[in-house]
Amino acid sequence: MSTKLAFIALLTLPLIACAATPGADDTESSDGTDDALTSAATSYAFTCKNADATKSTVVVSARADAFDIRATTNGATLFTATAQRPSLSVRLDDSASANAVVNEFVDFSDAGLQVVPVDGPNALEIDLAGAKTLLYKTPAASMTLSCSFDKAKLLGLLKLKLVAASRVNLTGVKAVAFDIDDTLAFTTPTFTRGFATGGTPAPTDTVFWTHTNGCDSGCNAQSITLPDGTTKLLPDNVASTAKSSAIELVKRHKAHGHKVYAITARPDINGDPLRHFIEQELGIAKEDVFFEPDIDQPGNPKGKADRIKALDLDVFYGDSDSDITDAKAAFVDASGAATKPIQTLRFLRSPKSSNRKAGKLNKYHPGYFGESIITGSYE
């Protein structure tokens, strides 16, 4: 897996995609996080070379509310940039796999949520994989610099935490849960089937969820009559695919005697095929799969946070920003004080996921809330 840091900055350099070569495995500390993540350093300088072997020095400096990036060549400034916190956006994907290039990613700003095109203005990318490249372009030209830097030092400066599935800290853990869509499984095909009905993912849309939930274990082509009276053939050979990283983690937790649950924000409309899929493909019992749509229903909890609290979870895995914030909110009292620690970990979305096109309904900022990111969890 290649690891990319995308700086959305106040400069005239747009982001361009790159294909990185695999690097050597990174050394991890005993608690499952990369070394040097708690570095107190405020700046880090490294050397890069242009295609003509011209050397440049790049300095990344951290301030309380911003990151400053400056590159110089022979004493002359090549570019400068300031990335205001929290406008550091992270892209993590496998550039060697099919459909891996992400065309959009999300940036937080004072103006709200922004979707920034890869080929748009005001961005710069540093690739932390084996290739270790810095890419940028102006309207007049583009440049790729080959750099020499210590990944752990740069991660420490940026306070990003990466952890392998085999290194997640299990000390004191008794109960864990996983989100389903883009966490336990790649489910875009089933949602494509649901949208083909002409419906929407509103919790009360029976037609949409009957087909979406009903196809996780597999569906063939089917003709349906739409509300306008027309007939439509729905997609064939539709099914969800369990993520290998999730399978590994579920097995690891079970091997340690932990109770493992699945929690989804989908409504329980024709939910048995999804329960069957989770049990057969991931080994989580049907009765331990919970549907928690974020709507008020008398006698039922609202959203994932209440279920996380009711299950007294120690660890929660999810892909979306709301997965992380819901887990943290589950154990907070009226005064805002934490009543219990919970470990939150972020899964990466598949490059083929329909949720990789970020928008207000699928906020996706791996590492933004200080949670560890599961390396390789895009599949």
User: Of 136-140, 208-212, 230-234, which range is least confident?
Assistant: 136-140
Burial 192-216 (b: 16+ CB within 10 A, else e): ebbbbbebebebebebbbbbbbbbb
CA–CA separation, 229 and 261 (whole Å): 41
Per-domain residue ranges for the chain?
2-160, 167-187+239-374
Annotate 37-66 with b (16+ C-beta within 10 A) or e (fewer).
Answer: bebeeeebebebeeeeeeebebebbbeeeb
In angstroms, what CA-CA distances link 316 with 202, 263, 370?
25, 10, 14
Residue 350 contacts residue 93 (beta carbons within 8 Å): no
What does the mean pLDDT of the chain come to? 75
For residue 124, give the nearest of 15, 19, 20, 45 by alpha carbon.
Answer: 15
Predicted confidence band at 121 (pLDDT cuts at 50, 70, 90)? very low
Pair 266, 212: CB distance under 8 Å: yes
User: What would the two tokens of residue 283 be?
Assistant: 């080994």
Kindly tell me the burial class for residue 248, based on how many C-beta atoms sit within 10 Å of its own C-beta (0-12, 13-18, 19 or more).
middle
Of the chain, the percentage scoring pLDDT greater than 90 comes to 39
The predicted structure's pLDDT at residue 160: 67
- Whether 266 and 213 have beta carbons less than 8 Å apart is answered as yes
**% of the chain surpassing 70 pLDDT:** 68
Task: Enumerate the β-bridge partners of residue 223.
Answer: 233
Question: Of 123-132, 255-264, 344-353, which gets the smallest average pLDDT?
Answer: 123-132
What pTM did the predictor assign? 0.70
The strand pair at 315-318 and 343-346 is best described as parallel
Q: Does residue 155 have a pLDDT over 50?
A: yes
Q: Which residue has the higher pLDDT, 157 or 87?
A: 157
Cβ atoms of 324 and 318 within 8 Å: the answer is yes
Whole-angstrom CA distances from 268 to 37, 45, 171, 211, 319 are: 41, 53, 33, 12, 21
φ, ψ (nearest 5 deg) of residue 151:
-60, -45
Pairing relationship of beta strands 66-73 and 76-84 according to DSSP bridges:
antiparallel
Residue 46's pLDDT is 92
**pLDDT at res. 6:** 45
Q: From 103, 155, 106, 167, select the one nearest 128 (Cα to Cα).
A: 155
pLDDT band at 229 (very low <50, low <70, confident <90, very high): confident
List pLDDT tens digits, range 266-298: 999 999 999 999 999 999 999 999 999 976 554
Q: How many CB atoms lie within 10 A of CB 97?
A: 14
What does the block give as tokens for 90?
A: 């992270």
pLDDT, position 65: 62
Each residue's pLDDT tens digit, 164-213: 899 999 999 999 999 999 999 999 999 999 999 988 888 889 999 999 99
Q: Which tokens is 49 given?
A: 């070379």
pLDDT one-digit tens code per residue, 307-325: 999 999 999 999 998 899 9
Give the span between the Cα atoms of 242 and 252, in whole angstroms. 16
pLDDT at 137: 58
What CA–CA distances, in Å, run from 99 to 89, 93, 102, 267, 310?
A: 20, 10, 8, 30, 39
Quickly name the fold that domain 167-187+239-374 has: Rossmann fold (3.40.50)
If pLDDT is split at 50, 70 and 90, which confidence band does 105 have? very low
pLDDT of residue 91: 41
- In this prediction, residue 62 carries a pLDDT of 79
Confidence band for 22, pLDDT divided at 50, 70 and 90: very low
- 30-71 per-position pLDDT tens digit: 233 333 223 345 888 999 998 888 899 988 887 766 677 788
Pairwise CA distance, residues 42 & 68, whole Å: 10
Q: What is the pLDDT of residue 214?
A: 94
Q: Once rounded to an integer, what is the mean pLDDT over residues 141-148?
A: 78
